[in-house]
């Protein structure tokens, strides 16, 4: 089994859910950190969705992020285990409103 640390980056996430990461068919993934940064000069809200088995599950729904701030949704003691083919998505209340950084460990 190989362990690979990766960063997934997505700039200017907007109102349509953006796929940040999709676990491969033969991959187990542990998300060890996730930060959503507000890049606008106004307050935004953010949603974090895990799609597993074809269904969407909210990790965060309509969390406010002030201008110049970020929201750490995963980190410290909070981790996320993703199964094969799970999809991690983010959307915001405004167009091109947030940058997203996800740190993860893939086990193949």
Homologous superfamily (CATH) for 3-107:
Nucleoplasmin core domain (2.60.120.340)
List, for residues 21-74, the tens digit of each pLDDT value.
999 998 999 999 999 999 999 999 999 999 999 999 999 999 999 999 999 999
User: What residues form DSSP beta bridges with 8?
Assistant: 102
Band (pLDDT 50/70/90 cuts) for residue 108 is confident
Structural domain spans, the chain: 3-107
- pTM of this prediction? 0.94
Q: Is the dihedral of CA 82, 83, 85, 86 positive or negative?
A: negative
- E strand map for the chain: 3-13, 18-22, 28-38, 44-52, 55-65, 70-74, 80-82, 87-92, 98-107
Band (pLDDT 50/70/90 cuts) for residue 94 is very high
Residue 1 is predicted with a pLDDT of 75
């Amino acid at each position: 089994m190989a362990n690979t640390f990766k960063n997934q980056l997505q700039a200017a996430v907007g109102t349509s859910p953006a796929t940040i990461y999709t676990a491969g068919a033969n991959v187990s993934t542990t998300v060890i950190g996730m930060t959503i940064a507000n890049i606008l000069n106004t307050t935004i809200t953010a949603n974090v969705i895990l799609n597993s088995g074809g269904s969407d599950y909210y990790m965060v729904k309509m969390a406010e992020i002030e201008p110049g701030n970020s929201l750490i949704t995963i980190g410290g003691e909070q981790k996320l285990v993703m199964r094969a083919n799970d999809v991690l998505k983010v959307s915001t209340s405004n167009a091109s409103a947030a940058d997203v950084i996800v740190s993860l460990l893939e086990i193949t």
